[in-house]
């Protein structure tokens, strides 16, 4: 009996994960990001097993090409993010100062209560970023999470704080 596309992918995952991880790490320069890249590639193929080529060699090539493409996409996104941060920084927009100004307008007791309402996974990044003066990247490294996850948690925390305090706390 011929293996299904999902079975071929599972076999390819076991056989080639290490090789793809090495390729992605070389391109991304980061093991955590490389793991995300390879996981994304396999998850994408599992969602659409009909796109898996019938020949094993073709499957390996497809995995390599997709991993490489995903790493390039992430690299380009990172470059765009840096350009945006540099543009904001050169324009004098430092969101930490904006949050500090907003926090100064809020009663200290209200701010403490609002912070207590945040789940731990949102509280820690906000404390590190705004009250610890760390960048997104430093928050991610400190917490051992991907940078995108750190950003998302900070944004979500700010939305929760804004809703709780009723103020225009600036998204970072």
Please state the domain extents for the chain.
5-89, 94-165
Q: Which residue pairs from 16-24 have beta carbons closer than 8 angstroms and sit at least 24 positions apart in sequence?
A: 16/60, 16/63, 20/63, 20/64, 20/67, 23/64, 23/67, 23/68, 23/71, 24/67, 24/70, 24/71
Spelled out in words, what is the top-level CATH class assigned to the domain 94-165?
mainly alpha
How do residues 54-97 score in pLDDT, each as one tens digit? 555 577 788 888 888 888 887 777 777 777 776 655 554 454 55
How do residues 85-138 score in pLDDT, each as one tens digit? 766 555 544 545 545 555 555 556 677 778 888 888 988 988 888 777 788 888
Please return the burial class of 10, using the count of CB atoms within 10 Å of its CB with bins 0-12, 13-18 and 19+. middle
pTM reported for the whole predicted model: 0.45
In the prediction, which pLDDT does 171 show?
A: 40
- Distance CA(87)–CA(96), nearest Å, equals 16
């Amino acid at each position: 009996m011929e293996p299904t596309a999902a079975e071929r992918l599972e076999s390819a995952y076991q056989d080639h994960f290490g090789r793809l991880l090495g390729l992605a790490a070389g391109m991304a320069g980061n093991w955590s990001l490389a793991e995300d890249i390879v996981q994304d590639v396999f998850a994408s193929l599992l969602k659409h097993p009909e796109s898996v080529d019938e020949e094993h060699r073709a499957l390996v090539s497809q995995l390599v090409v997709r991993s490489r493409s995903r790493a390039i996409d992430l690299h380009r996104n990172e470059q765009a993010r840096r350009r945006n941060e540099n543009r904001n920084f050169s324009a004098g927009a430092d969101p930490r100062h904006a949050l500090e100004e907003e926090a100064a307008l809020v009663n200290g007791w209200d701010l403490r209560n609002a912070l207590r309402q945040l789940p731990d996974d949102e509280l820690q990044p906000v404390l590190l970023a705004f009250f610890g003066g760390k960048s997104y990247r430093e928050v991610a490294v400190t917490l051992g999470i991907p940078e995108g996850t750190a950003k998302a948690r900070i944004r979500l925390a700010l939305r929760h704080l804004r809703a709780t305090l009723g103020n225009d706390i600036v998204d970072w």
